[in-house]
A and B are shown apart, each in its own frame.
Chain A
Amino acid sequence: MAVPTVLLSDLELDALTELVNLGVSNAASSLREMVREEVVLSVPKVTEVTREQAIANLTEREAKRLVAVHQDFEGDIRGRALLIFPEAKSMELVRAIVGSELAVEDIMELEQEALAETGNIMLNSCLATMANHFERSLRISLPEVIYGEGAEFFGPSSGAHADDRVLFMFINFAVRHRDVQGYIAMLLDLPSLATLKVLLGALIERTAGATIVAPPHDV
């Protein structure tokens, strides 16, 4: 049986993008307190792609090695959320958090911790915003830092299957003069994406309230 290429409607993707926007904006407010400088965000863009397309997207944008922080979540929907940056820029982020005056070896030592904490803030904020709006709870694992290339992050060892869909969320966040660029990706299996569609539909209905009048009959 052929799997439909796109499961989410435009309005469902719009709603999901707005949830990511809310989550990342909240996270930026927390991150600002850590780096003591304004965190500038780009407009988030959410696309639903296959695992192969997600890997291609990532390697197209960044050929070099990447660092990711990932957290697994389960509840009504289950999957993995990743915050991904180019390896070089991850050190910039660490410097912004721990201060540039520290010696290189001290920064190296703190790198894992600083990345895990940043990932924890960004990813938890997105997942918690989604859970709250869906009125569902999600159990979220502790953050883990991984190094590698795009294919490895979305590969079979990530728990993803060949037919899994990936919600690829692109958002650029910059700490003033430091060019720190990040992507958020979410891996969901097909049953979870179908559930996500139902949850987004319910959210849209609740948000619309009485403002959307259903057509009197089907044409």
Chain B
Amino acid sequence: MARIGEIVTHKVLIVDDSKLARMAVVKALNALRPDWLRVEAGNADEALARINDQSPDIVLLDFNMPGKDGLLFAAELSRQYPQIAIAVISANRQVEVINRAEAVGATFLPKPLTEKALGDFLSAAVARQAAAAR
């Protein structure tokens, strides 16, 4: 448990096949939580390797990626790593996509990602993880 005055830092894994999209997320993260650690991956396989060697506590997933898509990967992650907070980011706002994200316990965030939407998700994730650690 964190003592008063102790800095609790978080580690965010950004998974997107587009470098530009990762850059956009990094920019928003920099503005919101400049002290948090960031790790990047270009697909689900790379992301799994980063989860194993970097242990992030928050994962931001693109939906439409080559190989395993973000929703399939989110389902796997939430089974294997229930402590990780997951958001699926997509411009594909079809009700089926949003429902599937929610069904696997992920938060759906519309693309292009706004600082407000990302900030709300991060605050909720931190609060949930703090409550679970108590």
Binding site for B on A (CB under 8 A): 11, 14-15, 17-18, 21-23, 25-26, 28-29, 32, 38-39, 41, 43-44, 203-204, 207-212
Contacts and interface: CB of A to CB of B under 8 A. Distances in A.
B18 A17 contact: yes
Interface of B: 17-21, 23-24, 26-27, 30, 64-66, 90-97, 111-112
Contacts of A208: 23, 27
B27 A207 contact: yes
25 contacts: A11-B19, A14-B18, A15-B18, A18-B21, A22-B112, A25-B92, A25-B93, A25-B111, A26-B91, A26-B93, A29-B92, A38-B94, A38-B97, A43-B17, A43-B64, A43-B65, A44-B64, A207-B23, A207-B24, A208-B27, A209-B27, A210-B30, A211-B23, A211-B27, A211-B30
A208 B91 CA distance: 20
B94 A39 contact: yes
Q: Secondary structure of the A side of the interface? A: helix
Nearest to B96: A38
B27 A22 contact: no
A20 B66 CA distance: 15
